Amino acid sequence: MPLLPYCIIPADAEADLPAVGVRESAVEVLAVDRLRCLYSVLPDFSLVSAPDLQREALRFDAVIRELLAKTAVIPFRFPTLLGTADELRGFMAEHLHQYSAAIKRLADGVQMELRIEHASFATAADSGAAYLQARATATRALSQTAEHARAAAGGLMREWLTRNTARGLRCYALVPRELTAEFQTRMRSLSTPEGVTIVVSGPWPAAEFLDDTAQHR
């Protein structure tokens, strides 16, 4: 029967296990050395509609979020299915060193995100020159906003990443769990240039701060 893994947490995590997960199935634990992997056995897993997918994705997220409130979490992508517990155990054993190091490094850090967008990125220009001009202006505004946000976060964060997106920038801050409210407060007070919007979200598992070997991209 298919197994759906949720995430990896430290073996000594002081967190109660969520009672139910995807498809209202029990959440079970696989212990491998210093790590635990939480998963559900799904005898009947089907995604026959967008609402099904949405509902089960939210249940998956609820499991992750409940654990993230108490401990470091390395999530799997949804939906990941494996055939047997032995496959999952084998995967964990093969990557034990990478995930143990990642869990230790992330410790009590969570990921806060800023989606910084400029209205002109979605607007068609009348001419190539006008497009380039608008794009350059928008790019400068986005970069300045990201820098201001990073400065405002200051000593709250351990690490900061910025990535380009189709509509602007996405910034990720690794923040101690207990400082997420302060981070949100500082972001609320940011001023934004004309046309720039910021959406702040989190806390999320610090997936962006896993190195590529841990994410297996």
Partner 1 sequence: MPENNNVVVLDRLGDDEVSLLEILDHVVNAGVVIHGSLVISLAGVDLLYVGLNVVLTAVETALQHMRYDVPTAAKPRRALP
Nearest approach, Cβ of 127 to partner 1 (angstroms)?
Answer: 23
Task: Using the minimum distance from each CB to partner 1, give the nearer residue, 164 or 201.
Answer: 201
User: How far are the Cα atoms of 64, 151, 206 from residue 68, in angstroms, in the given order?
Assistant: 6, 26, 10
Task: Using the minimum distance from each CB to partner 1, give the nearer residue, 10 or 205.
Answer: 205
Q: What's the CA gap between 56 and 60, in Å, rounded?
A: 6
- Select from 9-17, 27-35, 61-69, 155-163 the region that touches partner 1 (CB under 8 A): 61-69
- In the set 10, 18, 60, 110, which binds partner 1 (CB under 8 A)? 60
User: How far are the Cα atoms of 52, 53, 54, 56, 70 from residue 48, in angstroms, in the given order?
Assistant: 7, 8, 11, 11, 34
Residue 61 makes contact with partner 1 by CB under 8 A: yes
Q: Which helix (H) or strand (E) holds 68?
A: helix 50-68
Question: Which residue's structure tokens are 């799904």?
Answer: 42
Residue 163 makes contact with partner 1 by CB under 8 A: no
Residue 44 makes contact with partner 1 by CB under 8 A: yes
Nearest approach, Cβ of 67 to partner 1 (angstroms)?
Answer: 13
Output phi, psi for 179, to 5 deg.
-110, 10
Task: Using the minimum distance from each CB to partner 1, give the nearer residue, 127 or 181.
Answer: 181
Residue 47 makes contact with partner 1 by CB under 8 A: yes
Nearest approach, Cβ of 184 to partner 1 (angstroms)?
Answer: 5
- Which residues are within 8 A (CB) of 50 and not within 5 positions of it... i.e. 6 or more apart? none
Q: In terms of C-beta density within 10 A (0-12 exposed, 13-18 middle, 19 or more buried), how is residue 176 classed?
A: middle
Task: Using the minimum distance from each CB to partner 1, give the nearer residue, 91 or 175.
Answer: 91
Q: Identify the bridge partners of residue 201 per DSSP, sorted by sequence position.
A: 113
The pair of three-digit structure tokens given for residue 67, joined into one six-digit string: 């654990």
Nearest approach, Cβ of 217 to partner 1 (angstroms)?
Answer: 7
Total chain residues near partner 1 (CB under 8 A): 59
Q: What's the CA gap between 134 and 62, in Å, rounded?
A: 41
Task: Using the minimum distance from each CB to partner 1, give the nearer residue, 128 or 216.
Answer: 216
Query: Where along the sequence are the contacts to partner 1 (CB under 8 A)?
Result: 1-2, 5, 7-8, 43-50, 52-54, 57-58, 60-61, 64-65, 74-83, 87, 91, 141, 184, 187-194, 196-201, 204-205, 207-208, 210, 214-217
